[in-house]
Amino acid sequence: MSRATLLVTVGVVVMLLGGCQQQTQQAQQAPETSPGPASPGPSVQAPKKVKIGIVTNAVAPFWSPMEVGMKEAASRLPGCEASWQGPQNARVAEQRRIIENYVAQGVDGLAISPLEPEALKPVINDLVAKGMKVVCIDSDIPDSDRMAYIGTDNFRAGHVLGKKLLEIMAGKSGKAVAFVGTLSAQNARDRLDGLKDALRGSKIEVVDVKQDNTDKGKARRNVEDTLQAMPDVNILIGLWSYNLPAIAEAVKQSGKRAKITVIGFDAEPATIQSLREGFIDATVVQKPYYFGYLAVMLLYNMVTCGVDAVQMVLPKPNNVVDTGVEVITPKTLDSYLEGLKKLGIESS
């Protein structure tokens, strides 16, 4: 989705919200009447608070802009309370526990970045069956009963990364190793598939993928081990946000920067610094600010206006809001950061 299309989608949701707010204000302003012989019926009551929880797939700087977007949306919505939590060790059991805690707290809606589709699909389906409003963010389970997906088209994002790699390599051959938290997450698999699709027929091959289960120390060691054991590898790829700074730091310490192309995803503060220093060639950045902003907007409207009314304005098929990606290089970094400042964030 282009930036213009994304802004149109945000605008449509806000318009829908305006209609809901008007109904809410009318309800609040209506005189309260006591039932009696001449005027039977219930009083008009103001709506209760709307509580929204966001469950991420980890705790990392990548999610900081999401929190800013979440808070900005909640501040615009009457009676809205929003918060977020994520599992420290990328364990499905911990993610499920966080979801259960939110349910116990009485939230009205949940936005979830599922670690494992197979494990989280029945959880989401059960929540929806019990009346919870649920959307996916960042990583989707399209065949679940979730009501919308907000985030990156990860196959397309992987394809964009692959095309940029081909541009950087300029026809040269290469052996690449990719690094990621876990390939059980749908976004990781989709990014890898999109990358390989873009590289099909080229002289570049992804020879291995190393997982770290969001252990930052292991992420760094995976890169160091690769540089030691696989001297013919000349491309290192970070599929999750913290992988790219781990790669850059390991390459910097190895003294092999001249021989290694470094690319990946996202723009954590450490990634931005490594771009400035020239230890990263390019990164494909997402828009996590809008993950949080739109998740709160959509869930709030689903609670106050109804799911059907919200889904009617969402892109079809399957109610997917693709927030889009950009390619950032050391040369384009400053202009990109200026855009972030306008949203009140410093990384992405």
Give pLDDT tens digits along the chain (348 positions).
Answer: 455 556 655 665 566 555 555 554 444 444 333 333 232 233 334 457 999 999 999 999 999 999 999 999 999 999 999 999 999 887 999 999 999 999 999 999 999 999 999 999 999 999 999 999 999 999 999 999 999 999 999 999 999 999 999 999 999 999 999 999 999 999 999 999 999 999 999 999 999 999 999 999 999 999 999 999 999 999 999 999 999 999 999 999 999 999 999 999 999 999 999 999 999 999 999 999 999 999 999 999 999 999 999 999 898 889 999 999 999 999 999 999 999 999 999 999
Query: What pLDDT sits at residue 48?
Result: 77
Question: Which helix H or strand E contains 43, and what residues bound it?
Answer: none
Query: What pLDDT sits at residue 194?
Result: 98
Residue 257: DSSP 8-state: G
Cα→Cα distances 215→148, 185, 211, 220, 246, Å: 30, 15, 9, 9, 11
Q: Which residue has the tokens 């670690």?
A: 115
| Gap between the Cα atoms of 105 and 51, Å rounded | 9
Cα→Cα distances 233→91, 209, 220, 226, Å: 30, 12, 16, 8
Query: What pLDDT sits at residue 21?
Result: 53
| Gap between the Cα atoms of 114 and 121, Å rounded | 9
Query: What pLDDT sits at residue 17?
Result: 55
Name the residue among 230, 157, 166 with its Cα closest to residue 199.
166
CATH 3.40.50.2300 residue spans of the chain: 3-14+48-152+287-324, 154-285
**Whole-number CA gyration radius for the chain:** 22
Give the SS3 label for residue 265: strand
Name the residue among 298, 326, 316, 308 with its Cα closest to residue 109.
298
Give the SS3 label for residue 310: helix
Query: What pLDDT sits at residue 16?
Result: 58
Task: Please state the CATH superfamily assignment of the domain spanning residues 154-285 in this structure.
Answer: Response regulator (3.40.50.2300)
Q: What is the CATH number of domain 3-14+48-152+287-324?
A: 3.40.50.2300
Task: Pull the structure tokens for residue 17.
Answer: 């919200």
Query: What pLDDT sits at residue 88?
Result: 87
Name the residue among 219, 326, 183, 318 with its Cα closest to residue 265.
326
Query: What pLDDT sits at residue 316?
Result: 87
Query: What pLDDT sits at residue 89?
Result: 82
Query: What pLDDT sits at residue 90?
Result: 79
Burial 16-53 (b: 16+ CB within 10 A, else e): bbeebbeebeeeeeeeeeeeeeeeeeeeeeeeeebbbb
